[in-house]
Amino acid sequence: MTHALLDAHKTLTELREEREDQGRNPSLNPTMGDIINHRFSRRSLLTGSLAVAAIASTVSPLALLAAKEAKAATASAFDFDEIEVAIEESHFVAPGYDASILLRWGDKVFADSPEFDPMKQSAEAQLKQFGYNNDYVGFVPLEGSNERGLLVVNHEYTNAELMFPAWAKIGKDKDGKDKVEWGEHSPEQVAIEMAAHGGTVIEIAKNDGKWAPVLDSKYNRRIHLGTVMEITGPAAGHLRLQTKADPTGKKVLGTINNCAGGVTPWGTWLMAEENFNGYFGGEIAEDHAEARNYKRYGVPAGDYVWAKFHERFDVSKEPNEANRFGWVVEVDPTDPASTPKKRTALGRMKHEGAESFINKDGRVVFYCGDDERFDYVYKFVTRGTFNPNDRAANMSLLDDGTLHVARFNADGSLDWIPMEHGQGGLTAENGFESQADVLIEARRAADFLGATKMDRPEDVQPNPKTGKVYCLLTNNTKRKAGQEDAANPRAENAFGHIIEITETDGDFAATKSRWEILLKCGDPSVAEVGASFSTATTKNGWFGMPDNCVVDADGRLWIATDGNNEKATGRTDGLWAVDTEGEMRGTSKLFFRVPVGAEMCGPQFTPNAETMFLAVQHPGDAGLATYENPATRWPDFRPDMPVRPAVVVVTKVTGGKIA
């Protein structure tokens, strides 16, 4: 059912995205617009029936065997029945699967949590309840179980207009068109927002075929803006990280805008701090020592009013606080008393995620995207090696290693350029006195190294089965004609693309790799879009704006999208399964779709691939959405309940592996 509200103006999320993603990279790194022969990697696709028919025309047993193999090669790695795109008030999953609500905003995290009462929400209650806008979802098995484990969930941001009753109203913009107008924030509302950010650790278990939270678990924890965190690694304690409240430069309260993330091989949870700039207000003098740094990160953006209530978010009063955000935070979910660590060795940026792989030499490699138009892809290689028998030793791996930034060359080679103080212009004369400066201003450091300006890097996901790495570029409508390059081949790239990286000889620490484009996204039936899905992809199978992804136990790729906004594409966001091997490479199929206004986040599997977790973020946020008038009241569909972001758990009705 098409929702009438969809015809209204841009949503707040869209407006926020536009403001967030203007692109703040002023460097002169080439966009390689002068490269004429773009390196497209669309593979010629022999249809399955033709391939089999050609071989089956002979009769020898060998040929029959070959025919069998050919048939296998032309089959998709996925066997579910594709669903149709639609814009509806509820979610929808492929036939034969169950998609149930596991945890909603406001749900109890502890046995003594108060019941969710949206008309009387308080910060005190919110601190004991599931936070807002679930994004990354990780699963840490307990005692090796696939039916009992810790779910770790990031709560990226808040939608005040959908959270607070009788607060946002419909007003008029300067052209006389309807728009959503925010009310004034009370101190209590700001406190609720701060409590709804961060993350949740919650034990979950499957009993009688049904997953549910274990509320009296000793592991359950809420992380929020008041959680004490330690800053570690090469920039810890640096002058630029010291504030009035923390002269040590090593202790910070909370984490914000935790987008995607990762679970390390030693079972810790990584929360990536993304659009941290939006939380800062005030003004910084143009000649201030941090002015150049803050400009590069878009600080302050003033999306939130927290600066009015908390000096530390006002850059004119506390000019160093914004240097304490934009990091990857490591949390030990098995110890609720542990202090989360902001790991400065991975650099400061708008971190999307931090997925990892144990290299063949034992070092651990983490891939990170910096989600802004024209920003970069990074990888961090630990100095030390993973020790499966010494978890305590693994806990410091993220404090020492080498951060690299990616240069995608037109010949299909990829340079991972080490970001080391003193090398390649990262010197005192350019404002880098030490490695700490390189990490605090990772973006500006990468500018000097000739990194490739990408179309908004989101998840970067290694595939342990194949040794490939998938890099999701969500879109970049600001790339102008003439600014295309081999790795970002479309101007006004509205639908994004996916790059496949092959690390040399399976060495994930390699500094010279190869790359090719797996998919250029968008509607392949519209020639001007220039999409490159395989011809076996149906009208439901294509997608735009790839954002999060997961690789399942069989090495198969699943893509979650953000921004298939209903008006432009006739579809909501969802989860698509993408073949990467054989002749079906580049074929995509729709498995799950979100309710109207939502973004698809999370995708995660239990190790046995029998359970999938999906995060439905900002549902109902379409058109002129307010608390009273959301685009859907998913998932409760009760007039006395607001629309609520929630984690969905997917299982096969008959049991067994998904798809």
Interface ranges with ligand FEO (CB under 6 A): 156, 259, 274, 352, 371, 458, 547
Q: Which candidate, 380, 284, 365, places its Cα nearest to that of 327?
A: 380
Please report how close the Cβ of residue 61 comes to ligand FEO at its closest, in angstroms. Answer: 53
Please report how close the Cβ of residue 2 comes to ligand FEO at its closest, in angstroms. Answer: 26
In the complex with ligand FEO, the residue whose CB is nearer, 156 or 355, is: 156
Please report how close the Cβ of residue 260 comes to Ca ion at its closest, in angstroms. Answer: 5
In the complex with ligand FEO, the residue whose CB is nearer, 319 or 619, is: 619
Please report how close the Cβ of residue 353 comes to Ca ion at its closest, in angstroms. Answer: 5
- R_g (Cα) of the chain, nearest Å: 24
| Distance linking the first and last C-alpha atoms of the chain | 27
441 binds, among ligand FEO, Ca ion, none (CB under 5 to 8 A by kind): none
200 binds, among ligand FEO, Ca ion, none (CB under 5 to 8 A by kind): none
Residue number closest to ligand FEO, CB atom: 259
Question: For residue 104, which phi and psi values (nearest 5 degrees)?
Answer: -115, 160
Please report how close the Cβ of residue 343 comes to Ca ion at its closest, in angstroms. Answer: 18
Q: Which candidate, 493, 499, 549, places its Cα nearest to that of 373?
A: 493
In the complex with Ca ion, the residue whose CB is nearer, 438 or 649, is: 649
Among the residues of 175-277, which ranges form H helices? 187-196
Please report how close the Cβ of residue 413 comes to Ca ion at its closest, in angstroms. Answer: 26
- Which amino acid, 355? E
Please report how close the Cβ of residue 549 comes to Ca ion at its closest, in angstroms. Answer: 5
User: Can you name the residues that pair with 510 across neighbouring β-strands?
Assistant: none
Q: Which candidate, 351, 345, 350, 605, places its Cα nearest to that of 464?
A: 605
In the complex with ligand FEO, the residue whose CB is nearer, 223 or 271, is: 271
Residues with Cβ < 8 Å from 517, sequence gap 6 or more?
39, 40, 41, 42, 487, 489, 497, 498, 499, 500, 532
In the complex with ligand FEO, the residue whose CB is nearer, 203 or 547, is: 547
156 binds, among Ca ion, ligand FEO, none (CB under 5 to 8 A by kind): ligand FEO
CA separation for the pair 491, 560 (Å, rounded): 23
CA separation for the pair 309, 288 (Å, rounded): 23
In the complex with ligand FEO, the residue whose CB is nearer, 3 or 155, is: 155
503 binds, among Ca ion, ligand FEO, none (CB under 5 to 8 A by kind): none
Query: 10 Å Cβ neighbour count for 32?
Result: 19
In the complex with ligand FEO, the residue whose CB is nearer, 547 or 579, is: 547
Please report how close the Cβ of residue 156 comes to ligand FEO at its closest, in angstroms. Answer: 6
In the complex with ligand FEO, the residue whose CB is nearer, 458 or 503, is: 458
378: left (phi over 0), alpha (psi -120 to 50) or beta: beta
In the complex with ligand FEO, the residue whose CB is nearer, 17 or 420, is: 17
In the complex with ligand FEO, the residue whose CB is nearer, 134 or 651, is: 134
- C-alpha 510, offset from chain centre: 24
What angle, 0 to 180 degrees and rounded to 10, lies between the N-to-C axes of helices 61-74 and 48-56? 180
651 binds, among Ca ion, ligand FEO, none (CB under 5 to 8 A by kind): none
In the complex with ligand FEO, the residue whose CB is nearer, 274 or 573, is: 274
- Which amino acid, 166? A
Q: Which candidate, 621, 521, 551, places its Cα nearest to that of 156?
A: 621
- Helix, strand, or coil (residue 571): coil
CA separation for the pair 121, 104 (Å, rounded): 15
In the complex with ligand FEO, the residue whose CB is nearer, 371 or 399, is: 371
Please report how close the Cβ of residue 508 comes to Ca ion at its closest, in angstroms. Answer: 17
CA separation for the pair 487, 39 (Å, rounded): 8
CA separation for the pair 582, 571 (Å, rounded): 28
User: Can you name the residues that pair with 96 across neighbouring β-strands?
Assistant: none
Please report how close the Cβ of residue 431 comes to Ca ion at its closest, in angstroms. Answer: 30
Among the residues of 465-615, which ranges form H helices? 566-569
In the complex with ligand FEO, the residue whose CB is nearer, 136 or 634, is: 136
In the complex with ligand FEO, the residue whose CB is nearer, 157 or 380, is: 157
CA pseudo-torsion sign 490, 495, 496, 498: negative
- The residue written with tokens 């790059």 in the block is 499
Please report how close the Cβ of residue 365 comes to Ca ion at its closest, in angstroms. Answer: 16
Please report how close the Cβ of residue 615 comes to ligand FEO at its closest, in angstroms. Answer: 11
Q: Please report, for residues 549, 604, 612, the alpha-carbon distance to residue 205 in angstroms, rounded to integers and kept in the order given.
A: 24, 16, 13
Please report how close the Cβ of residue 313 comes to Ca ion at its closest, in angstroms. Answer: 23
Among the residues of 403-449, which ranges form H helices? 435-440, 442-448
459 binds, among ligand FEO, Ca ion, none (CB under 5 to 8 A by kind): Ca ion
Residues of this chain that interact with Ca ion (CB under 5 A) are: 259-260, 459, 547-548
**Contact between residue 256 and residue 225 where contact means Cβ atoms under 8 Å apart:** yes
**Contact between residue 32 and residue 450 where contact means Cβ atoms under 8 Å apart:** no
Please report how close the Cβ of residue 458 comes to Ca ion at its closest, in angstroms. Answer: 5
DSSP labels, 135-146:
EEEEEEESTT-S
- The residue written with tokens 């500006």 in the block is 444
Please report how close the Cβ of residue 562 comes to ligand FEO at its closest, in angstroms. Answer: 6
274 binds, among Ca ion, ligand FEO, none (CB under 5 to 8 A by kind): ligand FEO
Beta strands in 355-496 (DSSP E): 355-358, 363-369, 373-375, 377-385, 401-408, 413-418, 454-455, 457-462, 468-473
In the complex with ligand FEO, the residue whose CB is nearer, 401 or 457, is: 457
- Helix, strand, or coil (residue 592): strand
Which DSSP helix (H) or strand (E) runs through 67?
helix 61-74
